[in-house]
Structure 1
Amino acid sequence: MIKQNLYAKIAGFLLLAAISTQNIPAQNIVTIFGQEKVEKTEEGEVSHNFRNGFLLPGGTNPGTLFNGQDMIAWMYATGNFITPKDGAAIGYSYPNMDGQVEDSYLRWLAQSKGENAMKLLPQWTWTAMDADSTGLFKRPELRSAFLYTSYDSPKEQIVLLETTGGTRTYVNGMPHEGDHYDFGYTLTPIKLKKGLNEFVYTPGRFGKVASKLVKPEKPVMFTKRDMTIPDIIIGENDSKWAAIRVINTTEKPLQGLTIRATFADGRKEEYKTQDIMPLTVRKVKYKIPAPANNNGSEGGNIIAKIELLDKSGKIIDQTDVEFRQVLPSVHHERTFISQIDGSVQYYSVAPAIRKNTGETKAMVLSVHGAGVEARNQARAYSSKDWTDIIAATNRRPYGFNWEEWGRIDGLEVLEEAKRVFQPDKSKIYLTGHSMGGHGSWFLGTTYPDKFAAVAPCAGYPDIASYGRGKGDAMHDDNSTYDAFKRGGNGGRVVSLAKNLKQSGVYIFHGSADSVVSPSNARRMREVLGKFHPDFCYYEYPGGEHWFGNHSVDWNPIFEFFSRHSIPEAKDVKEIDFHTASPAISPTDYWIKVEQQIKPFDFSNVQACLDKDTIQVIKIDNVALLVLDIPSLMLESKQIAVNIAGQTLSVPTDKEAIFALENDKWQVKGEVNLKHKYSGRYGGFKNAYGNNVVFVYSTKGTAQENEWYQNKARFDAETFYYRGNGSIDVIPDTEYTVAKYADRNVVIYGNKDNNRAWPLLLKNSPIQVGKGMITADGKTFTGDDLGTYFVYPHPNSNTASVGVVAGTGDAGMRATSPNNYISGITGFPDLMIYRADALKNGLTGMEAAGYFDNDWTLTNKDF
């Protein structure tokens, strides 16, 4: 998707010597009994290391905006998977691939076996491969090749699968999250069957895979890998949020759990934490009590005993966790609860120098580069006397490229930090490095009224133009796939760049940057030069991608920031607002776009305030517009709004709502919350938010129930891995509207096998059942149909319902990829596709597009 070596290079630049507060991997322990060596991890004894396998080169054709193409997923979905043998050929290929295999594999073959070997090579050929002496399967072609291993189990048993390297792992055909960023904390409880068990690892970004099976020490236990823990701030006497993972290797859910945290001085706090589904590892939250006498001037580490209790109060497991205790003047970490999924997230602080407690300062939001923790980002800055510097996490070191859930994380951190530090609201700024340079461009263009000035460092504007996914070519070759391009418009910084003209911009880049070319900065200099009255540009002579802390802690940037302020709404007389979707960015000062004519296409509103008149000079692709008239603090009781040749008079004591109906603008009394609006607008990916709960089917066949339970588990694993997430995953028998009121729901299954369907989707214009999908009168038949779509929750004005479903075995398995849990993919409101989409890409689509603003399909924008 992105340049394969980009993130690997970037990860080495930004102070990675510091140990992350989030990533505390367990080390393997070797115990010697006589001549035998028993390899152990903190979670149990290693029962098997995978040493032999088969390589299938060239099996993927990735794309940035959609799932790409996945030959293994297609073979599993359509029943074409055959246990590999050395030299066995796969008689299938992607369209327009001309029988070509991956170039890197051909080069390796020529070097190791001679030129003649290539002439004899059939397309899609499995080749035997052994791990090296360290247990690592490693070749460059593993960046784009599948790896197969197997294990002959003497009995049915539950083990932990620990892998590094692959994006996902198919275990006997069931998908699970891999470890493609080499974080080193992937643990997957799996139930082995007696006899042959097959494992297929999809390509990873670093060209290596290691895999082992671990016999769990306990059926339920803590693991200290990847904890989220706060610092304890001296002088602050409130409890803090923390999170730790619990492994459930049983086939029953863990419910009614409590976590008790106790300090040596006797202070304790109990918290009833989240439930945990069968055969999973979930990161659950708990509270750390404020230690006694926390008003001294000395820091130091303190240890808390963390206990896991069942519903009867019995201790299941316990461990010790060390917390850092620091003064508020020291760089430190804080935690909060995310509204995306109720999980614990953290941010880091480079605090301002304060002579007196409570001094009002400015605030800078700094967004980190790929592979960099927020903790390390904050420590690249020295403390300033006039501003706090807040480093958000993007949910993970790679996370979501500061788009989608990374974007939301940045906004959540900003709001939480404002609550804690109470800054001058007119002195809020944005900067970031590398991927965070992109984040600065993206967040700055998307939220132009939130920042007084923006400073992208070593950044690139658009992901789509920066990537190289071969699968994206089809988006440009055929207008049929316009829905997917529109779905990704939120990240098109260049198309939204005019939003930046109301903020100061400082572009900073090394002239010798070989990771992110300075051509990206020069391109934006050219773009801004056509309209922007207030930007600076500086290339650091000879500067590589990272040339020391001044790669971000650059004094001229902070001097530039100090000269800029966010005006009050009443002082903003002109607005030129661009947005790709109200779901992402609806507001700019006193203008709010609630609906578009064409969803996820670009909208533009140009307006000016002239005494007691608002002139809407230009309005494109807007169906519902709201003007925040009270924020203008006008003296008159009425104001005239000239819009598209019409003059409409509205009172100044409330918001003015204008709807486009039959090509005429009408004044409305309220926004219809049952229709699309900025708080619930669509785009399938937006179902994965608002404290979402996953609900899997139990009413189908045993095969269907197993698949949908695993699919929901897999999506939760992926959201955890990519986004430090913690999702409630429940069977349909446990779901009630009252218990999960106003929360988003993702249903895994269809109307025939998921009991929650009639509660939430009986009035949906899309119905999915055995062998058939109907969409507003159109019927699609076959057992190989899969679908994703989003629809409003019938009992809520804010919640949405997402659907992941198939019409039969092939259709439900066609839903196995989950690249909708990615910051840069473009997924419209609805998609209906054949299983062959896994092999053929978007040409396998039957229908895709968007609901109308009233959530019907009347306009056929699909």
Structure 2
Amino acid sequence: MKKYPIHQSLIILFALISTFTISAQKRQGNIVEYFGKEKVNDVKEGKIAHVFKDALYLTTKRSALNSISFPPDMIFKDFLMSDKTVSEGEIATIDDTGTSHSWTKIEVDETNTFNDPALRGAYLYLSYRSPAAKTVLFEASGHTQAIINGYPHEGDYYDFGYSLIPIQLKKGINVFVLKAGRFSRMRARLIQPKAPIILTTRDMTLPDLLAEESMDYKGAIRVINTSESWAKNFQIKVKHLGKESLSSISSIPPMSTRKVSFDIPPVNKNSEPSRSKLELKLLSNSGSELDSQDVDIQIKSKYGKHKRTFMSQIDNSVQYFSVAPSSTEELKDGALFLSVHGASVEAVNQANAYKQKDWGHVVAPTNRRPFGFAWEDWGRLDALEVLAEGKKIYRPDPQKIYLTGHSMGGHGTWYLGATYPDKFAAIAPCAGYPDLLGYRDSFVKRALKATEAERKRWGITSERLKQMQKKPQLTDMDHMILRAGNPSRTLKLKRNYLQQGVYILHGEKDNVVPTFIAREMREELGKFHPDFTYYEYPEGTHWYGDHSMDWPPIFELFKNRTIKSDSLINKMEFYTASPGVSAKSHFITIYQQQKPFEISSVDFSKENGPAVTTNNVLILGMDLESMKLKSDSITIDNVLLKVPSKNKAFYKKTTEGWQLTSKPSLKEKGPHRNGGFKDAFNNQMVFVYATKGNTMENKWYFNKARLDAETFYYRANGSVELVPDTDFDLKKYADRNVVLYGNKSNNSAWKKLLKDFPVQVENNLVTLDQKVIKGNQWGLYFIAPRPDSDTASVGVVSATGINGMKAIYSNHYLLNGTSYPDLLLFGDDIMEYGSDAVKCAGFFGNDWSIENGDFQWR
């Protein structure tokens, strides 16, 4: 197996960006205090059964393998699906320098926290001897992942104190292995739940109630099911100011938690702004009260800053966004400013940083969490959903839509602006970086030339500097996997900025997102862009007060820019890496690519007659009515073609050149459904897990589905519906994406969804068209079109046997910055060798076939 150096610059740059975490630090201080107490009444969910006060920890040398999507993890691999125990002094690993790494004892401090600089990125081993089998809640903080008695669970790496995992302790020794994140502290304890099914007010999603509006509202709260039975047909009753609402809530699997939505009754119109209380009661299917909680909520004026909630179409969860409405009450045809926040910043604080504008409304989405997805993947979708909500509520002038953001939100501004160039008249990235992954080479180059003092400020040690000097050795397989990440490679789409005005704002002495990043973007835009402004705030650091975002010259530039009407566009360039992410700009749509997930482009001009030059485009669509063409012909790549009398025209590139064609079939790939694998986690997705295998298979696939639901809850404030294969019904879940856990041998939903697909997985066998791969060690991720739907997809998390189940443990597909093509086939040594263990990766053809696809085999 080949080994090669990791991109250390990626890790360093991310660490620099993540250091600006003021609000997170405040939360962490509260959690330390919370864990430092051991009184029974400190825990609303029950009684403290055990606080872990001593443990073993292990530090290991950072892996020398470059595998963003499949980071090697030999330590977790040892504990996965096993009863492994360790003792103090036991050698765990010997690295490539011959240095051994042993388990070392550690004890908590006075706040019941394991706190040591050596814990950053380390492993923590906890054990608990239970006198009997019993159910508890495992509460921990500061860790990215946990393995409990051999099964993986999501961590609490934000250190927010949200983690409450129902577990079944076995009689005797129970083992907990925690992996630390960016913090050098972790805490853990066991809680005896007060009842089998309870509410927890940790991490609620609530709107502000608006005094001038009489409308229903949505909130969300977590229900914890510590029983071994499903919680079905439950309800939440809400009382507020004499009014009641009754909401049926989603089913909750055994031994799991789910954040569920509930209705909040309207307030009387013209109520006085105040702080109020909601009374929440959890009712069983028989109507009996199981638990109750009182929750604070605010009544505010809709003319002041406030937060709103909506139901997301990604997963039917409740999400919130914050608003700084115009200071002009009942403003008509005003502007809308989409402002995306930085790492650790709540959307509420983002909106609060702005003074209310007399000519427009500021709308601040959440990115699904304060860290979320760096405005990529599901953060991108959240921004689009909130933009749509903002337009629906405020009905702005459609030509006066603008985009801005700070720090991670500065990146979001660069990224969203490049991805959706026709949605914004102008963009203003503040203290932002354009492309985290694509920018690493420039960062390495800069770091190698930097002074020792500069490197010290950026946290680059001599060891890291040596690693940065090593060049990666990427194989064809690596390039295939990384290609799936092209939609996030902002700089590959940079010419889309020609459709917008750009204002770059950066502090002169910013050491969090170093100022050279902005200067290099100034240089980059200077090569081709005629309409951008660059300003360095004198002596400005990363944050120098509200002017770090709410900078008047930005809004002056905005005021003088509008989105062009389609009929007035004489020249336009548009670039995309995937029609499934971004297919359209104004009147031109790229429906299909020749080579999937490579950059496709269209260069349109009305000069010398309408003409289009394309690259990597197979099917092109044009809105003729919007274009207002005065010609009955158009030239595409020097081929003269007739323009039909219809409002829309479609052209296809064939071996004989471009030809007029019909609208592409929805059964083929297109903007509506294009892959890669991560795209399955969308469209009101439902997780369907296997129950037709042996005991181990059934338990594993349920746990894997539950783990992904835990992960999506924590990372994305999500709410995913889990369904056993025996309960899955095509009509009940019509037109919704399905993520199927299992294979043809053990998941009965396979025949309903994948019977005729060219990829088939069963015990000890994978068939890819005519190619057969045998063995029980294979794991597989792939996406397919749902056969009974024109829009929905099926994502598959599958294995050929017990060893393959270990391989699919890695759930990094729910992280931004990871690359997953349409299909990945890999062996059970993936936790040891990373992407070197991938046997096949690639993309299906536009007809979803393997034959017409693009695949790399090892």
CA distance in 2, matches of 1:455, 1:64: 33
Q: After superposition, give the CA deviation of every residue in 1:23-72 in whole Å (9 maximum; x if it has no partner).
A: 9989849999xxxx547411111111112222221266385741211113
Determine whether 1:290 maps to 2:266: yes
Q: How does 1:515-530 map to 2 (within 5 A)?
A: 515-530=512-527
Deviates more, 1:268-277 or 1:175-184: 268-277
Provide TM-score, normalisation by structure 2.
0.92
Match of 2:188 in 1: 211
Amino acid at match of 2:71: G
Q: Look up the match of 1:406.
A: 379
Q: Letter of the 1:449 partner, please give it.
A: D
TM-score with structure 1 setting the length: 0.92
Deviations 1:684-705 (A, max 9, x none): 0000000000011100011111
2:561 equivalent to 1:586: no
The equivalent of 2:423 in structure 1 is 450
1:374-393 correspondence runs (5 A): 374-393=347-366
- CA distance in structure 2 between the aligned counterparts of 1:178 and 1:288, rounded to whole angstroms: 31
Q: How does 1:193-232 map to 2 (within 5 A)?
A: 193-232=170-209
2:812 is equivalent to residue 819 of structure 1 = yes
Cα distance, 1:847–1:92 mapped onto 2, change above 3 Å:
farther
C-alpha spacing 1:575/1:343, structure 2 compared with 1 (3 Å): same
Find 1:329's aligned residue among 300, 303, 306. Answer: 303
Instruction: Tell me what 2:287 maps to.
Output: 313
Equivalent residue runs for 1:246-285 within 5 Å: 246-265=223-242, 267-285=243-261
Structure 1 position 630 matched with structure 2 position 607: no
Letter in 1 for 2:412: G
Distance 1:30 1:821, change over 3 A: closer
Q: Which amino acid aligns with 2:769?
A: D
Match of 1:677, SS state, is coil
Alignment match of 1:758 (pick from 733, 739, 751): 751
Do 1:229 and 1:241's aligned partners in 2 also have CA atoms closer than 8 Å? Answer: yes
Q: Using the alignment, how far apart are the partners of 2:833 and 2:348 within structure 1? A: 42
**Matches of residues 54-93 of structure 1 in structure 2 within 5 Å?**
54-58=56-60, 61=63, 65-76=68-79, 82-90=84-92
**d(CA) in 1 for partners of 2:225, 2:383:** 32
Matched residue of 2:86: which SS?
coil
Kindly state the Cα deviation for residue 482 of structure 1 after the two structures are TM-superposed: 1.3
Separation of aligned partners in 1, 2:417 and 2:18: 26
In the superposition, relative to structure 1, how do residues 515 and 29 fare at CA in structure 2: closer, same or farther (>3 Å)? closer
The 1:476/1:569 distance shift into structure 2, 3 A limit, reads: farther
Report deviation, 1:721: 0.5
* 3-state SS in 2 of match to 1:477: coil
Q: Distance in 1 between matches of 2:103 and 2:252?
A: 38
Kindly indicate whether residue 372 of structure 2 is the aligned counterpart of residue 372 of structure 1: no
Farther off after superposition, 680-689 or 301-310: 301-310
8 Å contact 1:594–1:625 — kept in the other structure?
Answer: yes
Q: 2:405 is aligned with what amino acid?
A: G
The alignment of Structure 1 onto Structure 2 pairs a total of residues equal to: 820
- For residue 437 of structure 2, the aligned residue among 461, 464, 485 is 464
One-letter amino acid of the structure 2 residue matched with residue 408 of structure 1: L
Mean CA deviation greater in 729-738 or 301-310: 301-310
Using a 3 Å threshold, how does the CA distance of structure 1 residues 450 and 163 change in structure 2: closer, same or farther? same
Counterpart check, 1:537 vs 2:520? no
Query: In the aligned structure 2, how far is the partner of 1:677 from the partner of 1:861?
Result: 16
Equivalents in 1 of 2:299, 2:140: separation in Å?
34
* Counterparts of 2:563 and 2:326, CA distance in 1: 20
Structure 2 segments unaligned to the other structure (5+ residues): 1-9, 445-463
Distance 1:715 1:348, change over 3 A: same
- Is the contact made by 2:846 and 2:853 (CA closer than 8 Å) also made in structure 1? no
Q: Distance in 1 between matches of 2:586 and 2:274?
A: 45
1:118 alignment partner in structure 2? none
Q: Which residue of 2 aligns with 1:350?
A: 324
Q: Could you tell me whether the CA contact under 8 Å between 1:76 and 1:813 is conserved in 2?
A: no
Could you tell me whether the CA contact under 8 Å between 1:475 and 1:482 is conserved in 2? no
- The equivalences for 1:684-703 within 5 A come to 684-703=677-696
Q: 1:473 to 1:854 in 2, by over 3 A?
A: farther
Indicate yes or no: 2:610 matched with 1:614.
yes
- Partner residue, 2:720: 727
Cα separation, 2, equivalents of 1:829 and 1:471: 31
Residues 344 and 769 from structure 1, CA distance in 2 versus in 1: closer, same or farther, beyond 3 angstroms?
Answer: same
Contact 2:484 2:819 in 1 (8 A): yes
Task: Give distance in 2, aligned partners of 1:257 and 1:24.
Answer: 33
Counterpart CA distance in 1 for 2:332 and 2:756 is 55
Shift of 1:243: 0.5
The one-letter amino acid paired with 1:494 is L
1:236 counterpart (213, 217, 239): 213
Contact 2:619-2:651 within 8 A present in 1 as well: yes
CA distance in structure 2 between the partners assigned to 1:214 and 1:472 by the alignment: 48
- Name the counterpart of 1:105: none
- 2 CA distance for matches of 1:609 and 1:492? 29
Q: Which amino acid aligns with 2:261?
A: K
Deviation at 1:92, TM superposition (A): 6.5
Contact 2:32-2:113 at 8 Å conserved across structures: no
- 1:560 & 1:153 partners in 2: Cα distance? 65
- In structure 2, relative to structure 1, the CA distance for the partners of 1:287 and 1:7 (3 Å cut) is farther
Secondary structure, aligned partner of 2:230: coil
The 1:39–1:782 alpha-carbon spacing in structure 2 relative to 1, beyond 3 Å, is: farther
* Equivalent position of 1:601 in the other structure: 598
1:499 aligns with 2:510: no
For the structure 1 residues 774 and 77, does the alpha-carbon distance in structure 2 shift closer, same or farther, using more than 3 Å as the test?
farther
The answer to whether the 8 Å contact 1:262/1:305 transfers is yes
Distance 1:19-1:184 versus aligned 2 partners, 3 A rule: closer
Structure 2 counterpart SS, 1:168? strand
Deviation at 1:173, TM superposition (A): 1.3
Residue of structure 2 aligned with 1:549, choices 546, 550, 558 = 546
Distance 1:619 1:459, change over 3 A: same
Q: What amino acid maps onto 1:622 in structure 2?
A: V
Q: Which residue of 2 aligns with 1:828?
A: 821
Is contact 2:80–2:147 with CA below 8 Å preserved after alignment?
no
Aligned to 1:648: 641
Asked if 2 retains the 8 angstrom alpha-carbon contact of 1:381 and 1:549, the reply is yes
Counterpart in 2 of 1:439? 412
| Cα offset, 1:128, TM superposition | 2.3
- SS at 2:157 equivalent: coil
Instruction: Tell me if structure 2 keeps the 8 A contact 1:486–1:601.
Output: yes
Q: In the aligned structure 2, how far is the partner of 1:701 from the partner of 1:142?
A: 39
The 3-state SS of whatever aligns with 1:394 is coil
Deviating more after overlay: 451-460 vs 315-324:
315-324
Give the direction of change, closer, same or farther, for the CA distance of 1:426–1:472 in structure 2 (3 Å limit): farther
- Please say if residues 694 and 728 of structure 1, whose CA atoms lie closer than 8 Å, have aligned partners that are also in contact: yes
Deviates more, 1:23-32 or 1:774-783: 23-32
Letter in 1 for 2:526: G
Q: In the alignment, residue 69 of structure 1 is paired with which amino acid?
A: P
Distance 1:29 1:661, change over 3 A: closer
Q: Distance in 2 between matches of 1:57 and 1:30?
A: 25
1:243 counterpart SS class: strand
